[in-house]
Amino acid sequence: MSADVIDNLTATLDALTKQLDGLQEVQRENYDAFYQCSMALIIFLMQCGFAFLEAGAVRSKNCTNILLKNLLESLIAGIGYWSVGWAIAYGPSYGWISPIFGGSQFFLYGMTDYAKFFFQYVFAATASTIISGAVAERVEFITFIVYSVVISSIIYPVLTHWGWSSDGWMKNGFQFDDISVGYIDFAGSGVVHLCGGSISILAAWMIGPRIGRYPKHGESGTGEIKGHSVPFAALGGFILMFGFLAFNGGSTGEISSPGVGQVAALAMVNTVLCGAWAALAYMFIHYLRSGKWTILLTINACLAGQVAACAGCNVMHSWAAAITGIGAGLSYLFFAWVCARLKIDDPLDAFGVHFGGGFWGLISVCFVGDKGILYGIFDHSIDMRQAGLQLVWQLICALAIILWSVGAAFIMFLIMKKLKVLRVSPEVEVKGLDIYKHGEAAYPLTAYGHGWDEIENVKDPTVREIALRKISQRVDLSLEELAPVVKKYSAYTNPKFYEHPEHFQNAEVKEEILKYKPDPTTNGDHTPRGAIRRINNSSVVPVNE
Amino acid sequence: MSADVIDNLTATLDALTKQLDGLQEVQRENYDAFYQCSMALIIFLMQCGFAFLEAGAVRSKNCTNILLKNLLESLIAGIGYWSVGWAIAYGPSYGWISPIFGGSQFFLYGMTDYAKFFFQYVFAATASTIISGAVAERVEFITFIVYSVVISSIIYPVLTHWGWSSDGWMKNGFQFDDISVGYIDFAGSGVVHLCGGSISILAAWMIGPRIGRYPKHGESGTGEIKGHSVPFAALGGFILMFGFLAFNGGSTGEISSPGVGQVAALAMVNTVLCGAWAALAYMFIHYLRSGKWTILLTINACLAGQVAACAGCNVMHSWAAAITGIGAGLSYLFFAWVCARLKIDDPLDAFGVHFGGGFWGLISVCFVGDKGILYGIFDHSIDMRQAGLQLVWQLICALAIILWSVGAAFIMFLIMKKLKVLRVSPEVEVKGLDIYKHGEAAYPLTAYGHGWDEIENVKDPTVREIALRKISQRVDLSLEELAPVVKKYSAYTNPKFYEHPEHFQNAEVKEEILKYKPDPTTNGDHTPRGAIRRINNSSVVPVNE
Amino acid sequence: MSADVIDNLTATLDALTKQLDGLQEVQRENYDAFYQCSMALIIFLMQCGFAFLEAGAVRSKNCTNILLKNLLESLIAGIGYWSVGWAIAYGPSYGWISPIFGGSQFFLYGMTDYAKFFFQYVFAATASTIISGAVAERVEFITFIVYSVVISSIIYPVLTHWGWSSDGWMKNGFQFDDISVGYIDFAGSGVVHLCGGSISILAAWMIGPRIGRYPKHGESGTGEIKGHSVPFAALGGFILMFGFLAFNGGSTGEISSPGVGQVAALAMVNTVLCGAWAALAYMFIHYLRSGKWTILLTINACLAGQVAACAGCNVMHSWAAAITGIGAGLSYLFFAWVCARLKIDDPLDAFGVHFGGGFWGLISVCFVGDKGILYGIFDHSIDMRQAGLQLVWQLICALAIILWSVGAAFIMFLIMKKLKVLRVSPEVEVKGLDIYKHGEAAYPLTAYGHGWDEIENVKDPTVREIALRKISQRVDLSLEELAPVVKKYSAYTNPKFYEHPEHFQNAEVKEEILKYKPDPTTNGDHTPRGAIRRINNSSVVPVNE
């Protein structure tokens, strides 16, 4: 009987163990997938953020062009990363090749972790889209397609293999005595942003500045080319700030290991703080130098801070975020200045933001990251050799990232240059890419204007008052004498009035109208309507009638 | 003693079992609710996507109108789906009525699964909002309210009952020999999009084309009516692409069953890929035909691809997404062409995108979905009768969806037509709906312009240079001779200068000004400011002074 | 042997218990963190919503200014809430001070729950950003910075301590007989919105109305100042509606306790319904009064409904959401009317929306919340004393919130007033803040226009037809006689034509051109191009050539 009881217990226990294991597996597999997918979703929207940051920063004549580029990035990267990119980044490979390239799971053949693929794909799209800002307003469309394919399928995946796959040479680092050092780059300060920033300045240099950006002596043209919409740039900035939280927070890659929830939250908080410190530091410096509170550069500085947060946001205390952030603001300031001094035209400051922020992020984590050099100074139990070697390794990796990115991209752009498809013709550049290349003006003239404009304005008391004053001058009547007309007048401003043209035939109205003295500028239209129309002849919107 | 031990063990085991069951229940209930709610949240934002896709595609005079419509869709569908829609779709019913209609839980009475309700509600809002694109720029507001209520409360819920509730006749399908066939439509290619697309073309046909869209011989008017803002259309497109990932990924309806995490991720990946293939295929075809890289139609094609992904994105391999996507691009091309040939005016191509994409999605899944016809061709262990009958059933269901949607909507629109409230008057249409119907111009003229415009331009070196050149011509001085003035001049361009009007009284400045020869076009304003103002007389922004 | 078995069983059981406890801890910690972070992410985006709601509602000359303000709110609140705010709100404190202030964990020292911090921080940013709408278009930038810091670091955190921390005097309420009453405010109708709304009206009153908003007798100026972009306001509205779902749904603060998933979903559903009822009720009332379907005020009403939902969305049935929502619409109507009657200029109706909605929410929950007064009327088993005392306590708390918010903010604004930095100078206000304060016009004139404008228009058949008609009139040829020119003409409209200037030298083309009679208005340009350019001289976009 006791044996029966024990058998029962054992069976129950077995069932329970199975149930529990099943539960744990669901936890690991499903909720991790849920976490990765929901963060990836938000990162996917960053493409929209880049699109509007860039659209706001270009002139209206190139707005459609830059929007299409950013839209296509997601799509091209989707196919490129699916076919080749993932295989190079995370496909298992063997032998001497494995620290350098992945080499299987092309077209996802044999790949089973779709959540991870999705998450890695949105990163690839981000890396590639950085460049479109640097070559804005002048790059040939076909060149854009080529570099999108190459960066998202080859250049970027190689870097992620080095830095993030378990085989990667950067990730595995080296062993020195009892110290083992590996590349630290939680969310891609180096792999994503240093790569994108490096290619950006190369591309901007090879393609040359926009016409009028750095006018030579005697040439016409302004040193400054303003974008056409601050609100669009701000919209992009807001969406990117939103996206960066998922970008960095989601980089845990999972949510089921003990403690990882707080790591993700810490990463998000540090991302906010880094961005805030960078933005405020930059904004006040800019104010002291120019007397203006800039929004466009403050957004850039904020993004540079968030870029810098990528590397170590999971291992920094929040005070360290202040140092990383302020440093990122200064780094952005410096690298953007370098770029301008070199007379390289980078319309979006992609170099300053992504190179400047990314490079500083990789360095900064060695100082203020947990057990970093700064800790070592105050806490002698920390092995400074470890922290020092980490810094060396970070610098070596940063160099490797720059060399690979610039080297591979240089060959690509050189070929495009030889094929004479790097840049559009000067006439197309001057007149704008939208209509010539895309057949779609961002704001087609024919789509603007409306037929109620008199009414709209007349409803506005100021305009009405001005109108009446002008009428009174014209007809030699005082405002008081015009009072009875005013009442009538408000009938004319009622839209319903115009739906019944017979009203115009009304004798009383006619008489009212005829009281006005003729005015040579009215072309025979003596009604208040005509008068108002003349007042409104400064109206900027063509009437669709 | 052993008995005590066993009792203890048993008690512990019981406690453990309870704890585990509790945990599993939390897992099932809470995290499923979390998943549904977070996906529903993002789908809710699709309303914003539709709003901006449509706002960008209409003329500025109808922008407020279309934004309000899309805003109200969410709200009207909220109340409609709460009161009646859910009951029809998922409320338990009995007897012969149960395969056709749900029949309880009106006003959510007795309903307990709020997460599911929330998720289903956002779908209902989406289905209903598709139509507003097809009738844009001419539908009466009251008709819009009526169809929103009817579609979200009745027409769409009936279809979801048929296709998705456990009682639905489409879902349960039929039994033939040993083969059992049921409707396949994971995320609503048919139930949502075929429905919305069918009603769209019906509505566009009944309401007639916009004035000037298909001008008859002798009538003025253009064959093409452009939207007023490509950036807004692109914003809408980005948000919709973002939303579609949640729309399709979230359609698992839960995240706790073993393996469902990867299904959700696969659905999202396939949605990206379908959209990408459709967009790129369409874009290249369009380029070959017109020499232009279109953004607006590329967005539409991408959406058509994502619509087609709805039906089978959970059961397709990623190569199948390529076939589904490219097919969707072609299907969109074809159905949009049909619509234009029939001279039906569908400003947003709602028919092409949602009918074209949705119909192809329902068919495509029978071919490239797991164990579909294409598999059968290569793998003879697959029963082709199953796959064939599936195709037949999909076609029958598609037909049923079209008939029900078109039939019910036809009655509704016919009543509105008889009541003469289907369409606004021609004058309102020509002059625009915004001001007459809503009292709110999208871009009120009085809100534009600013008083620093001279300064803004003068800071621009080109303009400054031109200004100086023109001044030098006018006063017969060389640029060199003007040099001292230039310095003074930059004082005038300092905003602070204008804060102290006494500066204008300054004798030295006056003298400087008087050196200029009078110019008949200046109306007495001989300052550089006046000159610049004249140069700027092409300025388009009215000055607020 | 049996002992061995039992030992084994015990060991297995122990292991199982540990595994289960671990699992449960992960569930509690990680998934709760996941939930809070993902909701916080979306709430973070509300800042973008506020930014665009406000940007759309101001004139173009102040657009950059208001965008920067909203951008900075997030960043300033980040640093303020990190350094001081959190400590005051949730840092443990002791003794008599604990019901009033928190007093530790400054700079997050010793704080471990980053997910909760992140969630609370985004709330703080929201509370503070409400005010920027009320003081839009006239507040000094430095004053904005000061109030952002003070509200997010002190004023708001104190209120959350009172109402939400376990020590807070409002939260703990009082004991009367057997009745215990505590403050009910699930997601912050009072703590967030009543606070923001109260400070808004105070700030708007102290700073005074915008020039021209309430013109005195004899002064020029309109009683109405329109915002510059309905689409931007709508974009903001959409994003805020989206964000509010996370704001209210996320306020469960966790997702792992049994049943909390459905509570979160219920909160979201009620938020949708409250917003919908408020918006529709308001919209129809407005239509009956003015004959117009307003979008801007409907958005405001919807937000007021969602604000009112905050207090009790977790304890209301969906029918109660109808009452709360409609009431919120009316409350918004009333408080916005009061504000206008008092001649206080609140450009965004921040008072009406947040005070009106928030106050009503706090009251409403006592009536229609679970076991509220309305239940008591129909169900005599419910203790009406409880419900009544709850109402009294809510009113006391509401009063306390208003007094604290207004009192603290009054001192702050008074100091700013004494320092004469409350408001910009009249000239800056009239001319706009963007260029003077920020150096960045929202829409710089130099960034607009393109060189293909003739071509764009000429492709438009209407314009082409008009052009040809006008040419025919000018040259005294019939349209038919012009037919051969038309063919030539379409060559001129081909952009490629202009890439080869030698075409203009073509003898045949020259001859064609010379056939036209000279026209005194053409300034020597007799080509069709010249004619079209003249026709287009109403074109509003300056050509960049």
Rounded to the nearest angstrom, the minimum Cα separation between A41 and chain B is 7
**Directed axis angle between helix A260-290 and helix C114-134, to 10°?**
40
Nearest CA distance, B290 vs chain A (angstrom): 9
Task: Please give the angle made by the CA atoms of B252, B256 and B260, to the nearest 5 degrees.
Answer: 45
For residues B46 and B72, state if they share a domain: yes
- The band of A217, judged by pLDDT with boundaries at 50, 70 and 90, is low
Amino acid letter for position C207: I
Assess B97–C contact: CB distance below 8 Å, yes or no.
no
CA–CA dist A241, A347 (Å, integer)? 20
Spatial CA neighbour of B192 closest among B276, B340, B309, B294: B309
The answer to whether residue C76 neighbours chain A at the CB level (below 8 Å) is yes
Are residues C398 and C459 both part of a single domain? Answer: no
Measured from the Cβ of residue C92, the count of other Cβ atoms closer than 10 Å reads 14
On the 0-12 / 13-18 / 19+ scale of CB atoms within 10 A, A190 is: buried
Cβ <8 Å between C440 and A241: no
CB contact A72 to B (< 8 Å): yes
Provide the pLDDT for residue B490: 44
Q: Domain check: are B361 and B503 in the same one?
A: no
Select the residue from C44, C238, C296, C462 to test the B interface by mutation, using most B Cβ atoms within 10 A: C238
Count CB pairs under 8 A between chains A and C: 268
User: Which pLDDT belongs to residue B6?
Assistant: 79
Please indicate if any CB of chain B lies within 8 Å of the CB of C238: yes
Chain A residue with CA closest to C462: the answer is A446
Q: Residue range C66-93: average pLDDT?
A: 96
d(Cα A191, Cα A212) in Å, to the nearest integer?
34
Task: Write out the H or E segment, with its range, that includes residue A181.
Answer: strand A179-181
Residues in contact with A417: Cβ distance below 8 Å, sequence separation at least 6, in sequence order: A206
A261 contacts in C (CB within 8 Å)?
Answer: 26, 29-34, 37, 115
State pLDDT tens for residues B18-43.
888 888 888 889 999 999 999 999 99
The number of C-alpha atoms within 13 Å of C89 and in the hemisphere containing its C-beta is 30
Q: Do B326 and B241 have their domain in common?
A: yes
Under an 8 A CB cutoff, do C441 and A230 touch?
yes
Mean pLDDT of all residues in chain C?
A: 84
Q: Which residues of C touch A38 (CB under 8 A)?
A: 38
pLDDT at C543 over 50: no
Of the candidates C19, C23, C64, the beta carbon closest to that of A230 is on: C64
Q: Mean pLDDT over residues C315-322, rounded?
A: 94
* N-to-C CA span, chain A: 98
Chains in contact with C, where contact means 3 or more Cβ–Cβ distances below 8 Å, are A, B
State the smallest CA–CA distance between residue B190 and chain C in angstroms. Answer: 26
CATH code, C320: 1.10.3430.10
First to last CA, chain C: 98
Contact status, residue C136 vs residue C58, Cβ threshold 8 Å: yes
pLDDT tens figures, C80-100: 999 999 999 999 998 899 999
Q: CA B213 to CA B225: how far, in whole Å?
A: 7
Question: What angle separates helix C260-290 from helix C318-341, to the nearest 10 degrees?
Answer: 50
> Is this structure's pTM higher than 0.90?
no
Secondary structure string (H, E, C) spanning B10-54 = HHHHHHHHHHHHHHHHHHHHHHHHHHHHHHHHHHHHHHHHHHHHH
Q: How far is CA A143 from CA A132, A139, A402, A424, B285, in A?
A: 11, 7, 21, 10, 19
Closest-CA residue of C relative to A232 is: C442
Q: Which of chain B's residues have a Cβ under 8 Å away from the Cβ of A47?
A: 238
- Evaluate whether B169 touches B401 at the Cβ level (below 8 Å): no
The alpha carbon of residue A261 is apart from the nearest alpha carbon of chain C, in Å, by: 4
Q: A208-222, C238-252, C504-518 — which is least confidently predicted?
A: C504-518
pLDDT at residue A407 in the model: 97
Say which residue the tokens 């009822």 belong to: C277
Helix (H) or strand (E) holding C176: strand C174-176
Give the pLDDT of residue B533: 40
pLDDT, greater one: A381 or A144? A144
- pLDDT of residue C503 exceeding 80, the answer is no
DSSP H or E segment with residue B179? strand B179-181
Q: Is residue B519 part of a domain?
A: yes
**Residue B220 covered by a domain:** no
pLDDT of res. B217: 63
Q: Which residues of chain C does B31 touch, with a Cβ-Cβ cutoff of 8 Å?
A: 31, 255, 261
- The answer, for C212 touching chain A at a CB cutoff of 8 Å, is yes
Say what the pLDDT of residue C509 is: 45
| Whether pLDDT at C459 is above 50 | no
Whether residues A460 and C224 touch (CB distance < 8 A) is answered with: yes
Residues of chain B with Cβ-Cβ distance to A231 below 8 Å are: none
pLDDT tens per residue across span C208-229? 999 888 877 655 555 788 999 9
Does the residue A8 lie in any domain? no
What pLDDT shows up at residue C452?
59
pLDDT of C456 strictly over 60 = no
Residue C381: predicted pLDDT: 85
State the chains in contact with B (3 or more Cβ–Cβ pairs under 8 Å): A, C
In a domain, A444, yes or no: no
Where a domain ends, among C438, C467, C483?
A: C438
Task: Say if residue B396 is in the same domain as residue B492.
Answer: no
Distance of CA C473 to the CA centre of its chain: 55
CB B123 within 8 A of CB B406: no
pLDDT over 80 (residue C483)? no
Higher pLDDT, B409 or A476: B409
Tens of pLDDT, residues C372-422: 999 888 888 888 888 899 999 999 999 999 999 999 999 999 999 999 999
A373: Cα within 13 Å, side-chain hemisphere: 11
Selection from B425, B405, B531, B430 nearest residue B477 by Cα: B531
Q: Which residues in A lie closer than 8 A to residue B261 (C-beta atoms)?
A: 26, 29-34, 115
Q: Which residues 244-273 on chain A approach chain B with CB closer than 8 angstroms? A: none
Please enumerate in sequence order all residues whose Cβ is within 8 A of that of A530, keeping only pairs 6 or more positions apart, or say none.
A522, A523
What is d(CA B196, CA B358) in angstroms, rounded to the nearest whole number? 9
Chain C contact for A477 (CB, 8 A cutoff): no
- Min CA distance, C446 vs chain A (Å)? 7
Q: Give me the residue from C226, C295, C445 closest to B457, CB to CB.
A: C445
Structure-token pair, residue A358: 């990314």
Walking along chain B (545 residues) 10 residues at a time, the average pLDDT comes out as: 76 85 86 96 97 96 96 95 96 92 94 96 94 94 95 96 95 90 96 97 96 73 82 97 97 93 96 97 94 95 98 94 97 96 95 97 94 87 89 96 97 96 90 89 80 47 45 44 45 40 43 38 38 35 29
* Domain count within chain A: 2
- Give the confidence band of A487 by pLDDT, cuts at 50, 70, 90: very low
Q: Are residues A154 and A174 in the same domain?
A: yes
Instruction: Say if residue B49 is in the same domain as residue B176.
Output: yes
Q: What's residue B299's pLDDT? A: 97
Distance from CA of B495 to the nearest CA of C (A): 7
Least confident of A70-84, A365-379, B280-294, C129-143: A365-379
Q: Are A36 and B265 an interchain contact pair (Cβ–Cβ within 8 Å)?
A: yes
| Cα–Cα dist B248/B271, whole Å | 7
Domain span at residue A162 reads 53-438
Contacts of B420 (CB under 8 A, 6+ apart): none
> Does some domain include residue C8?
no
* Domain final residue pick, A438, A458, A483: A438
Name chain C contacts of B432, Cβ cutoff 8 Å. Answer: none
d(CA A290, CA A302): 19
Measure the CA–CA gap between C461 and B223, rounded to whole angstroms. 7
Containing H/E element for B529? helix B528-535
SS (H, E, C) B418-465: HCCCCECCHHHHHHCHHHHHHCCCCCCHHHCCCCCHHHHHHHCHHHHH
What is the 3-state secondary structure of A208-272?
CCCCCCCCCCCCCCCCCCCCCCHHHHHHHHHHHHHHHHHHHHHHHCCCCCCCHHHHHHHHHHHHH
| Å between C400 CA and nearest CA of chain A | 31
Measured between CB atoms, does B457 come within 8 Å of chain C? yes
Q: Mind telling me how many Å the CA of C236 is from chain A's nearest CA? A: 10
- The Cα of A237 is separated from the nearest Cα of chain B by a number of Å equal to 14
Using DSSP bridges, classify how beta strands A179-181 and A174-176 pair: parallel, antiparallel or unpaired: antiparallel
Query: Does some domain include residue B6?
Result: no
| Nearest CB partner across the interface for C436, out of B45, B442, B495 | B495
Query: Is A440 in contact with B42 (Cβ distance < 8 A)?
Result: no
> Min CA distance, A395 vs chain B (Å)?
36
Residues of C in contact with B12 (CB under 8 A): 13, 17
pLDDT of residue C8: 82
Give me C229's structure tokens. 């972009």
Q: Quick one: tokens of B342?
A: 């029939």
Give the number of other CB atoms < 10 A from CB of residue A290: 11
* C243 and C363 inside one domain: yes
Which residues, numbered 145 to 204 in chain A, qualify as contacts with chain C under a Cβ-Cβ cut-off of 8 Å?
A: none
Instruction: Judge if ipTM > 0.90.
Output: no
For residues B543 and A536, the model is more confident at A536
Q: Does C95 touch chain A (CB under 8 A)?
A: no
CB nearest C220 (choices: A225, A231, A462): A462
Q: Is residue A246 part of a domain?
A: yes
Domain identity same for C197 and C258: yes
Asked whether residue B404 falls in the same domain as residue B469, the answer is: no
b/e code A118-156 from CB counts within 10 Å (16+ = b)? bbbbbbbbbbbbbbbbbbbbbbbbebbbbbbbbbbbbbb
Task: Return the partners of chain A (3 or more C-beta pairs < 8 Å).
Answer: B, C
How far apart are the C-alpha atoms of B169 and B393, rounded to whole Å? 11
The pLDDT confidence band at residue A133, using thresholds 50, 70 and 90, is: very high
Flag whether pLDDT at A434 surpasses 70. yes
Whether residue C260 sits in one domain with residue C238: yes
> Would you tell me which residues 500-539 of chain B have a C-beta closer than 8 angstroms to some C-beta of chain C?
538-539
Q: What is the DSSP letter of C433?
A: H
Boundary of a domain, candidates A378, A407, A438: A438
Q: Is residue B228 part of a domain?
A: no
Q: Is the pLDDT of residue A202 over 90?
A: yes
C369 with C504, same domain: the answer is no
Q: Does residue A525 register a pLDDT over 50? A: no
Sort out which chain C residues have CB atoms less than 8 A from A428's CB and list them. 499
